[in-house]
Amino acid sequence: MKVAKFGGSSLASSDQLKKVINIIRGDSKRRAIVVSAPGKRFADDRKVTDLLIDYAQVTLRKTNPVAIQHAIIARYQEIATGFDLPDSEFQVIRDHILQLPQQEYPSADYLMDAFKAAGEDNNAKLIAAILNHLGLPSHYLSPREAGLLVSATPGDAQVLSESYAQLAAFKKSKSLLIIPGFFGYTKAGQICTFSRGGSDITGAIFARAFKAELYENFTDVDAIYAANPNIVTQPTAIEHLTFREMRELSYSGFSVFHDEALIPAIEGGISVRVKNTNHPLRPGTLISARKIYDPQRPISGIASDTGFLGIYIRKYLMNKQVGFVFKVLQILAEYGISFEHIPSGIDDITIIIRERELTAELEPKVMAAIKAAIHPDDIRVIHHYALVMIVGEGIQDHIGMMAKATNSIAQSGVSLVTLDHGASPVSIMFGVREKDEFNAVRGLYKAFFSTEKA
């Protein structure tokens, strides 16, 4: 059995859905289909999820929702009309969208999640109805019916372990299962969504529960690429990644596959293949627990992300002071701030944090608290970091990796702000100024993928 997830671009219109149906029919092992909400049909279009967020905000403001309701219904109506679905079968979609403001919600956060989840939920209902209309026996499987239980954390739900046994009972379904992604239900019966893009997570959860032979993730690119195509011209496609390589790349800016979605797949030992709905016969990228890497290509990919800052702290004999770093991290925890990395020396540490965590309002308070706690010789905040990371299973066995990487960055006219190697055996992280991000990535790509255009 295979679990296949289709993203928003794959389901944006009736023409796109026709491609999806051909893919489903092309392999009888595809028995569980996880769907996203309809995405963009063209560059200036809006995703249905974004329309639903607007709808929720209109509802919270208690202003007239008619225009936004019509816009959302029209997106689903186009898909239904493309398959000549009888209006009587479409009515359930229309009713659900219109009735959203009339429901009771424990808080604004739960209201927002219920509205957002309606994108996937209604698309699953619609697709199941269309497939049955076309003579392909299908069952819309609600997360409530399936028993997909999640934590009561709106916008960032986590699957509860007892869900897997309940979900597994549906593996033997004789009908094709059409499952809405992105959300589950709390034990109190409230809808909670995963983080944005979380339909990938739903797919991985069902793949693990069903012990699928493969989790196929269909999107709008032919493969995962070795670098961002917006930075490097025509980067090479990656044929095979390990789970830990993909986790590192996703964290560092790769947006093709939700990084949290790998956790259920890893726990269940389920391999993932990323493929293109528009070119389904192309091999895509396989993600699995292990691979045999090419010694001539120790690096699998280069990723980068912006929006970081560093709290630089220098304290003479810091390494002799028990609990020094603990005191700093405790202060960050008290202010609800999470950190990303801590490159360190004998007398220095730099705590890398996302800019959104340390707001302008919090920054002076946090800095004052740290000064009072540890009396540093020097402390300052360095804004506008970019993190650039090279990732590959061959890093730990390849001599001269650091020299080759740093030399390529230097030749690109970029100076390093910080560097972190050793915490992960499959990655090296470089901190640079945001303005130097693209040059650093291009320099690294040229050094490690010299046969490709950079």
Closest by CA position to 401, among listed 438, 433, 430: 430
SS3 of 294-350: CCCCCCCEEEEEEEEEEEEEECCCHHHCCCHHHHHHHHHHHCCCCCCECCECCCEEE
pLDDT of residue 253: 62
pLDDT of residue 340: 86
Token duo for residue 317 = 């004999």
Query: What is the CB-side half-sphere exposure of residue 152 using CA atoms within 13 A?
Result: 7
Amino acid making up residue 345: G
CB-based burial label for 77 (10 Å; 0-12, 13-18, 19+):
middle
Only one residue has tokens 């529960």, namely 209
Only one residue has tokens 């020299």, namely 403
> DSSP label at 358?
S
pLDDT of residue 454: 41
Residue 269's Cα: distance from chain center in Å? 19
Residue 65's Cα: distance from chain center in Å? 30
Closest by CA position to 32, among listed 247, 181, 189, 155: 181
Vertex 234: Cα angle to 230 and 240 (nearest 5): 100
Token duo for residue 379 = 């402390």
Output the furthest CA–CA distance in the chain (Å, rounded).
76
Closest by CA position to 192, among listed 153, 235, 236: 153
Decide the pairing of beta strands 214-219 and 224-225: unpaired
Strand locations in 90-202, DSSP E?
138-140, 176-180, 183-185, 191-193
Closest by CA position to 47, among listed 10, 17, 96: 10
For 184, 385, 434, the CA distances from 48, given in Å and listed in that order, are 19, 33, 32
Provide the β-strand partners of residue 304. 388
Provide the phi-psi class of 84: left if phi over 0, else alpha when psi is between -120 and 50, else beta. Answer: left
pLDDT of residue 155: 95
Decide the pairing of beta strands 427-433 and 418-421: antiparallel
Residue 384: phi and psi, rounded to 5, are 65, 50
In 10 A of CB 125, how many CB atoms?
21
pLDDT of residue 255: 64
> DSSP label at 221?
S
Interhelix angle 108-133/66-82, rounded to 10 degrees, is 20
The CA distance from 139 to 186, in Å, is: 23
Encode the chain (454 residues) as per-residue pLDDT tens digits.
999 999 999 999 999 999 999 999 999 999 999 999 999 999 999 999 999 999 999 999 999 999 999 999 999 999 999 999 999 999 999 999 999 999 999 999 999 999 999 999 999 999 999 999 999 999 999 999 999 999 999 999 999 999 999 999 999 999 999 999 999 999 999 999 999 888 999 999 999 999 999 999 999 999 999 999 999 999 999 999 999 898 888 766 666 677 788 899 999 999 999 999 999 999 999 999 988 878 778 899 999 999 999 999 999 988 888 889 999 999 999 999 999 888 888 889 999 999 999 999 999 999 999 999 999 999 999 999 999 999 999 888 788 888 999 999 999 999 998 887 766 788 898 999 999 999 999 999 999 997 544 4
The CA distance from 294 to 239, in Å, is: 12
